[in-house]
Amino acid sequence: MRQLSTKATCNSHGQDSSYFLGWQEYEKNPYDEVRNPKGIIQMGLAENQLSFDLLESWLTENPDAAGFKRGGESIFRELALFQDYHGLPDFKKALVEFMAETRGNKVSFNPNHLVLTAGATSANETLMFCLAEAGEAFLLPTPYYPGFDRDLKWRTGVEIVPIHCTSSNDFQITESALEEAYQEAHKRNLRVKGVLVTNPSNPLGTTMSRSELNLLINFITAKNIHLISDEIYSGTVFRSPGFVSVMEVLKDRNCDNTQVWNRVHIVYSLSKDLGLPGFRVGAIYSNDEMVVAAATKMSSFGLVSSQTQYLLSALLSDKKFTKNYLSENQKRLEQRHKMLVRGLRKAGISCLESNAGLFCWVDMRHLLRSNTFDAEMDLWKKIVYAVGLNISPGHSCHCAEPGWFRVCFANMSEKTLNLAMQRLKAFVVDSTAKLNNHHSSKNSKRKSSPKWVFRLLSRDCHRDRESDER
């Protein structure tokens, strides 16, 4: 008899994807300025490490939150016992106010409609359990965060059908792409329950335009399906156009308390905006009471530690702090973004124009030996091994076109970023020369494209250190 479940033995966990394999390579040979200066620089990690000093100084000024105290009195017992899945009221209040703040206070949120979860990973999975049966589908615009394959599909049995977006219009969602995806689902006999978008986008780093948002609302209204807006990067928008949340557009359209109002749900987290992925703070916001009720009960499987709720409730209630943090953090992100873009340009590489996120969507199509995903893989292997940069290949994000890569910029020091850019430039110069030689060579018999056999994956290595990374 098959000993384990099907879920345990299949690979719907998605971790055989190249996205995660690059990390294994990084783990084996990580860059360190002193101890391993030739190691691989991690640029596949969408972390925000730029503003810890702001958090640290808040902590030193606020000892109570640190020491399980309120007004100098110990509340340890209260916190240690607090496992109410409704969450700490003060924390939810502070969190919805923070969410409103990152939306320029153009929308407000009701804390009773917020469900706390163990990270956005858990939030997304929970929403699938609430909105779809196994075998039903959600439409997702490509390229999308590779982790969705696990988060949305693995244990839920829900399918993802891609909405293909292309570089021809900067990967924006079009009406025809939506319809095509819907029809595709139909062809595959999959009932579509909704659309899930990430706004600001991972991996594109762009915010959705109002017209895209309106398009989506029209579409889900017509099809009578859900819209999930994963807005975990909303606080990372560092340049205009500013962030427009789907809630704002709904409000502008006077959709409050209509049917469609109840079918739009937001996923949030503090992992990107505050740079606290370790604390596992995620949230679902829904106007539908049934969804809130069901998701709340499901959150039992992944509540936020009360210790963490308490700390963050104090942090986020300090409005002076949050205002300063958001603006300072955005400045630093912008500056770092500029650095990356400049560095890439010096290497003759452009990227999609972006105004948010912790990464750039980089165009390396001109470095491919052919317009294929095989060639993309080859290029990626070179970048990981020869150049020593772990970046994420577009294929792992289900991009429809080969040659695009996600490159992170907020998880390392400036010095390291500069070094990465130098390495890249050297590589480009070198490989451009080689490419020219190759083209001009008379014996340009093409080698057959090597099958992508990723020997990097040492299966006997038990320490697959894949983290929850976006």
Partner 1 sequence: MGFMNSNEQELLSKMATGNGHGENSSYFEGWKAFDNDPFHPTKNPQGVIQMGLAENQLCFNLIEEWILNNPQASICTPEGVNEFRDIAIFQDYHGLPEFRNAVANFMEKTRGNRVRFDPDRIVMSGGATGAQEMIAFSLADPGEAFLVPTPYYPGFDRDLRWRTGVQLLPVVCESSNNFKVTREALEAAYERAEMENIRVKGLLITNPSNPLGTILDRQTLIELVSFINEKSIHLICDEIYAATVFSQPGFVSISEILEEEKEMACNLDLIHIVYSLSKDMGFPGFRVGIVYSYNDAVVQCCRKMSSFGLVSSQTQHLIASMLSDDAFVDRFISESAERLESRYKFLTCPLAQVGIDCLKSNAGLFVWMDLRHLLKNKTFEAEMELWQVIINEVKLNVSPGASFHCSEPGWFRVCFANMDDSTMGVALNRIQTFVHKNKDVRNPIKRKHWNSNLRLSLKSKRVDDIMMGQSMRSPHSPIPQSPLVRART
Of 226-245, binders to partner 1 (CB under 8 A) are 226
Q: How far is the CB of 120 from partner 1 (least distance, A)?
A: 11
Determine if 30 is a binding residue for partner 1 (CB under 8 A).
no
- 222 by DSSP, 3-state: which? helix
Chain residues 166-225 in contact with partner 1, contact rule CB under 8 A: 193, 224-225
CB-nearer residue toward partner 1: 82 or 454: 82
Helix axes 175-187, 210-223, angle to 10 degrees: 30
How many CB atoms neighbour CB 89 within 10 A?
Answer: 13
The pair of three-digit structure tokens given for residue 409, joined into one six-digit string: 């910029």
Q: How far is the CB of 284 from partner 1 (least distance, A)?
A: 12
Please tell me the count of residues contacting partner 1 according to CB under 8 A.
86
Q: What is the DSSP letter of 37?
A: T
Chain residues 34-63 in contact with partner 1, contact rule CB under 8 A: 47, 49, 52, 55-56, 59-60, 63
Only one residue has tokens 């399980």, namely 68
What's the rounded Cα separation, in Å, for the pair 76 and 257? Answer: 41
Which of these is catalytic: 149, 151, 230, 273?
A: 230
Determine if 468 is a binding residue for partner 1 (CB under 8 A).
yes
Contact 170, 162 (CB under 8 A): no
Is 230 marked active-site?
yes
Q: How far is the CB of 123 from partner 1 (least distance, A)?
A: 10
Distances (CA, A) of 270 to 236, 334, 404, 470: 11, 19, 27, 13
Q: What is the DSSP letter of 235?
A: G
Determine if 276 is a binding residue for partner 1 (CB under 8 A).
yes
Distances (CA, A) of 466 to 117, 302, 349, 394: 20, 19, 29, 18
Among 195, 298, 364, 387, the residue binding partner 1 under the rule CB under 8 A is: 298
Q: How far is the CB of 127 from partner 1 (least distance, A)?
A: 10
Determine if 257 is a binding residue for partner 1 (CB under 8 A).
no
Is 415 marked active-site?
no
> CB under 8 Å to 438, separation ≥6 — which residues?
369, 444
Binding segment (CB under 8 A) for partner 1, from list 129-137, 182-190, 233-241, 379-387: 129-137
CB-nearer residue toward partner 1: 212 or 288: 288
Is 273 marked active-site?
no
Q: How far is the CB of 52 from partner 1 (least distance, A)?
A: 4
CB-nearer residue toward partner 1: 269 or 330: 269
CB-nearer residue toward partner 1: 310 or 380: 310
Is 7 marked active-site?
no
Please return the burial class of 119, using the count of CB atoms within 10 Å of its CB with bins 0-12, 13-18 and 19+.
buried
What's the rounded Cα separation, in Å, for the pair 285 and 100? Answer: 12
Binding segment (CB under 8 A) for partner 1, from list 89-97, 121-129, 229-237, 238-246: 121-129
- Looking at the annotation, which residues are catalytic? 145, 230, 232, 272
